[in-house]
Amino acid sequence: MKYYANICELNPFHNGHKYLFERIKSDSGCDKLICIMSGSFTQRGEPAIANKYVRARHAILGGADCVLELPTAFSVAPAEIFAKGAVKILKSIPAVKVLSFGCETCADFSKEAKLLLNESEKFSEVLNKNLAEGRSYVKSYTEAFVSAGGNRDLLENSNNILAMEYAKANLGQGGELELQPIERVGANFNDEKMNENFSSASAIRNNLTSPLVKENLPEFVYKDIDLFLRDYNKFQELTVYELLKTDSKRLKRLFGCGEGLENKLKTSRGEYCSIIESCTSRRYSASRIKRILCANLLGLFADECFEFLDTTLYLKPLAVKKDCADEILSELSKSVNPLILRGRDCEKLNETAKKCLKIDEFSTNLRNFITKEKTENKILTI
């Protein structure tokens, strides 16, 4: 069997995702499509717009055959860690041969990623020069990449950046997965404008009352729109409360929080949005600040995340297609990562993996507290 995989958030599942899943299958004739999806919180540093089981069900109805949960320690992390964690888990499944993803520019991502894995003397020289001149790290890194012969477009568009990280993670872990880039249609990842058919997930989340939303979501997603999170006030208040409790030493353990940023966060006052605004600069983006605040709330520490990357973890299915459930679960059971289907399966985990799983459980419970939802911790068959 040849399984294809996709790393996703589906926040929410929209027409663009449906198009991507259809292209993955039509372009390849793959036997099965496995998604590894962020659970209760996302890389933007916010609760997912719908709970993980609702989004997993949408994925199955949209063409996936199985949805695995990406551990929270990776899902609320910089792109490099997000990709490394997802690729690590996918590589442990023998049947998974191809990683498919949407991107703004189709390219030989493996070839381009080698420039980032093996930074040349020229790369380092240009990077340090730009940083010394006061440019942001992202812009400095891009200029260094271009100076080494890289394609600028691949570090200036959000999905391309993730694609590069997937390629880097794959190469860094043996390069065994084949990559299948598929060009996006419609709006760009960060486009806030609503279009008639293919709007970004950001635009949909921010315009849930727009009549255009219905045109951008498959019917099976739109009928669940009442389950979408609209009020983030409780999350924001909890986040600020946790920041007030936290000391600078703890903040420095979070990804991306150093070089004095931890002190800036501790001395910031006011509500959630004003803290983000006061800490955002040319060097530190608002999305980075939000991710740091969310990681602090959830207790996601960089040192522990590296431990998770270095150990055997687990496969946690959220949903599976009913007519092939037995086959897929049989394939997943061949992984070195234990398959978690019921509570007692957790006994198979080592202590580090148990710690990682407890973070997932806490994240789900916290999101349920914020939304006043109740989710059953069991795999869906659809």
Residues 250-275: pLDDT tens digits?
Answer: 999 999 998 899 999 999 999 999 99
> What burial class does residue 196 get, using C-beta atoms within 10 Å of its C-beta: 0-12 exposed, 13-18 middle, 19+ buried?
exposed
Same domain, 269 and 124: no
Selection from 181, 195, 125 nearest residue 153 by Cα:
181
Q: Residues with Cβ < 8 Å from 131, sequence gap 6 or more?
A: 137, 140
Are residue 58 and residue 171 in the same domain, yes or no?
yes
Contacts of 292 (CB under 8 A, 6+ apart): 45, 251, 254, 255, 256, 257, 261, 265
CA gap 37, 291 in Å, rounded: 17
Among candidate residues 274, 303, 332, the one where a domain is terminated: 303
Are 218 and 297 in the same domain? no
**Residue-number span of the structural domain to which 295 is assigned:** 233-303
How many distinct structural domains can be found in the chain? Answer: 3
Q: How many residues in total does the chain contain?
A: 382
**Chain Cα centroid distance, residue 129:** 31
* Stretch 218-232: mean pLDDT: 97
Last residue of a domain, one of 259, 282, 303: 303
Q: What is the pLDDT of residues 110-122, one digit of tens each?
A: 999 999 888 888 8
Q: Is the pLDDT of residue 150 over 70?
A: yes
223 and 238 both lie in a single domain: no
CA–CA separation, 360 vs 69, rounded Å? 9
Residues 6+ positions from 128 with CB-CB distance below 8 Å: none
Tens digits of residue pLDDT in 334-361: 999 999 999 999 999 999 999 999 999 9
- Asked if the model's pLDDT at residue 227 lies above 80, the reply is yes
Same-domain pairing of 26 and 64:
yes
Same domain for 134 and 258, yes or no, is no
pLDDT at 61 over 80: yes
Looking at beta carbons, which pairs linking 146-154 to residues 24 or more positions away fall under 8 Å? 147/122, 147/123, 148/115, 148/119, 148/120, 148/122, 148/123, 149/115, 150/112, 150/115, 150/116, 151/105, 151/107, 151/112, 153/104, 153/105, 153/107, 154/105, 154/107, 154/109, 154/112
Identify the CA nearest to 286 among candidates 274, 304, 295, 270: 274
In the predicted structure, residue 189 carries a pLDDT above the cut 60: no
Any domain includes 113: no
Confidence at residue 117, expressed as pLDDT on a 0 to 100 scale? 87
Residues 213 and 295 in one domain: no
Dihedral pair phi/psi, residue 232, rounded to 5°: -100, 10
Question: What pLDDT digit, counting tens, does each position of 78-92 carry?
Answer: 999 999 999 999 999
Tell me if 77 sits within 8 A of 300, measured CB to CB: yes
pLDDT of residue 140: 87
Position 262 in a domain: yes
The CATH number for 371's domain is 3.40.50.620
Give me the pLDDT at residue 359, please.
98
User: Is 260 inside any structural domain?
Assistant: yes
- Strands 66-70 and 3-8: what pairing? unpaired
- Specify if 211 maps to a domain: yes
pLDDT tens, 92-142?
999 999 999 999 989 999 999 999 888 888 888 998 998 888 787 778 888
Could you tell me the pTM of the whole model? Answer: 0.95
Judge if 188 and 267 occupy the same domain. no
Provide the pLDDT for residue 322. Answer: 97
Both 82 and 177 in one domain: the answer is yes
Q: What's the confidence (pLDDT) of residue 187?
A: 60
| 212 and 336 part of one domain | yes
Q: Examine the domain organization and report whether 13 and 137 are in the same domain.
A: no
From start to end of the chain, where are the E strands? 3-8, 32-38, 66-70, 96-103, 178-183, 317-320, 380-381
Distance between CA 134 and CA 117 in Å, rounded?
24
Confidence of residue 188 (pLDDT cuts 50, 70, 90): low
Distance CA 4, CA 290 (A): 32
CA separation for the pair 345, 296 (Å, rounded): 29
Same domain, 204 and 253: no
Work out the mean pLDDT of the chain and round it to a whole number: 94
Are 90 and 99 in contact by the 8 Å Cβ rule? The answer is yes
**Quick one: pLDDT at residue 190?**
63
Q: Residue 125 and residue 144: Cα distance in Å, rounded?
A: 8
373 inside domain: yes
Which of 303, 321, 342 is the C-terminal boundary of a domain? 303
Is 111 a domain residue?
A: no
The phi, psi pair for 381, rounded to 5°, reads -115, 125
Residue 76 has pLDDT above 90, yes or no: yes
Cis peptide leading into residue 12 (ω within 30°): yes
